Structure 1
């Protein structure tokens, strides 16, 4: 499993649990903890701030109940790494286990009980980050605020999200510059809105004339740095899913998803040949490729070389020309 925060980010190791709780109150969100009446559990926390995101890995070393009235200005996302957690918010009890993801909306009460062996990775996502992601894509903000429908998710269903968190943790620990940090946090917001059911009405631009391949091709070209769904393409074409697949097979010889992926790879290839391309990782992430290993292999199959080779050759040619 991808490492989420190494020992370089350690703040407390085998420390008093209430000291760790006080630190969490300062950096993650206001809460109260309840520990067993006997014993002195040894708690640990690793923490990094990355642009407007807070990242931390916590274990308390004993069964602990964590409660809070509401987190108000943040979305609280937890990845269970070990052990289990019981959620009892609104009287609805759920058990979360390793590999599952817990997401709490800003106005939801928190009532979580963790097993003694539980270790969790927490991402604190500010409300304004998701609101800005909506505004960038011209989606109207819900009157009641952005809310995610379900509390429980699985990493396997959140395509590439765990790997994205691993990349972010690595960047946070190696002092990435502000521009890269801002890029990553925007990707996190867009991924959450795209992957998890929510109340945002994603308004899709409709061409004046429906049907045909050109409107959908143009839509794809204008949104290559975003997650493009089959549902969006159906709305642009105003056709059924079956008709959409037939249209792409007839005009492009590919499925809609494969066509979008091919165009993203071609755009990345063009970007890497520009003198302004700062790194392969940055260009890949900007086009939604978070599995960098899979991206490199797909790129090699498409262009006969690794993306790093394209980028390096461009830099060498630029240096000779300069």
Structure 2
């Protein structure tokens, strides 16, 4: 468990819990905390962005209650490292102890109480990453979204603890490459679907989808181009209407939205990559066809929880 982020990633030490909570709200997930009326807890936090993931190691240093109506578009994978944490959900209560894993689904209300010595490692995964893993493996995801069981034992998840350690090592590497990060994020999502109880049918779809795979590959290969709906429909030998249905079936979104999201992800990878030649945000945005820079910045912040200039500044610091 010591491999799950080290001092390189430490952002807060012996800090005000509310300052740590504010940072978590910006980067890891929206929540509120309630502290005991007496005492002065000292919180600590380590954080790394890694591809589409956020990795976080956190302790509040006191008996803190953490609540949220729902995480909405993200999954939270929480591994208890020390202490205990009282979880309330689905009319149940459970004290998580070291080595146990809590999976919080996007529509799950959050109600957790940390012990004084509680420390957690958290992985934030966008829901689209899980949906894409289903599509990549030709598994059928429910129309109302993928849901995981809440409680798991880490030691029973074959190789998963080692995978988390490798991801953290790569996240803290000075030469971590965006393409490597993307491969790791896909592996994490697929391993979760394969190892944790969920509502996904792992029986392959009745019909194969070479057309869709070819389309996704074409989009990834041509992200700097202006890809039109007509161009994709012609490539897939289908009508625009059928193309919409294909993307809705596999990804639950439209072709236009998918292309924009992939472009944003590629921009973020460029801004994060320490070896990429990036002079400024504007140059990269224009390179990927974002001509309205104000609109681009808002879309970027909506997707990743920070402005593109913040991503670039963190790389340069």
Task: Describe the superposition over 1:2-60 as per-residue Cα deviations: whole angstroms up to 9, x where unpaired.
Answer: 42000000010000010000000000000000111012110000000001100000011
- Structure 2 CA distance for aligned equivalents of residues 135 and 47 of structure 1: 29
Counterpart in the other structure of 1:187: 187
| Corresponding pairs, count | 206
Contact 2:74 2:125 in 1 (8 A): yes
Contact 2:82 2:118 in 1 (8 A): yes
Counterpart in the other structure of 1:174: 173
Q: Indicate the SS of the match to 2:156.
A: coil
Unaligned runs of 5+ residues in structure 1 are 207-322
Task: Describe the superposition over 1:74-111 as per-residue Cα deviations: whole angstroms up to 9, x where unpaired.
Answer: 11010000000001123311110001000010000000
- Structure 2 CA distance for aligned equivalents of residues 204 and 75 of structure 1: 24
Counterpart in the other structure of 1:58: 58
Q: 1:131 to 1:205 in 2, by over 3 A?
A: closer
- Structure 2 CA distance for aligned equivalents of residues 72 and 97 of structure 1: 26
Shift of 1:146: 0.5
Unaligned runs of 5+ residues in structure 2 are 207-317
Task: Describe the superposition over 1:104-141 as per-residue Cα deviations: whole angstroms up to 9, x where unpaired.
Answer: 10000000001000000000011000100111122222
Q: Indicate the SS of the match to 1:88.
A: strand
Task: Describe the superposition over 1:171-211 as per-residue Cα deviations: whole angstroms up to 9, x where unpaired.
Answer: 111141011000000000010000011111112479xxxxx
Say yes or no: does 1:42 pair with 2:73: no
Shift of 1:62: 0.4
Counterpart in the other structure of 2:278: none
Counterpart in the other structure of 2:162: 163
Counterpart in the other structure of 1:31: 31
- Structure 1 CA distance for aligned equivalents of residues 78 and 119 of structure 2: 10
Task: Describe the superposition over 1:155-186 as per-residue Cα deviations: whole angstroms up to 9, x where unpaired.
Answer: 11111111111111111111410110000000
- Structure 2 CA distance for aligned equivalents of residues 190 and 18 of structure 1: 34
- Structure 2 CA distance for aligned equivalents of residues 49 and 79 of structure 1: 18
Q: Indicate the SS of the match to 2:186.
A: helix
- Structure 2 CA distance for aligned equivalents of residues 2 and 12 of structure 1: 18
RMSD: 1.4
Counterpart in the other structure of 1:137: 137
Contact 1:62 1:116 in 2 (8 A): yes
Counterpart in the other structure of 1:243: none
Contact 1:2 1:163 in 2 (8 A): no
Q: 1:205 to 1:31 in 2, by over 3 A?
A: closer
Q: Indicate the SS of the match to 1:93.
A: strand
- Structure 1 CA distance for aligned equivalents of residues 205 and 22 of structure 2: 48
Contact 1:44 1:59 in 2 (8 A): yes
- Structure 2 CA distance for aligned equivalents of residues 90 and 187 of structure 1: 29
What pairs up with 1:78-97 in 2 under 5 angstroms? Answer: 78-97=78-97
Counterpart in the other structure of 2:16: 16
Structure of higher RCO (CA pairs closer than 8 Å, 6+ residues apart): 2
- Structure 2 CA distance for aligned equivalents of residues 74 and 193 of structure 1: 15
Contact 2:140 2:204 in 1 (8 A): no
- Structure 2 CA distance for aligned equivalents of residues 76 and 42 of structure 1: 24
> Which has the greater radius of gyration?
1
- Structure 2 CA distance for aligned equivalents of residues 32 and 145 of structure 1: 25
- Structure 1 CA distance for aligned equivalents of residues 90 and 139 of structure 2: 30
- Misfit runs of 4+, over 6 Å: none
- Structure 2 CA distance for aligned equivalents of residues 74 and 205 of structure 1: 25
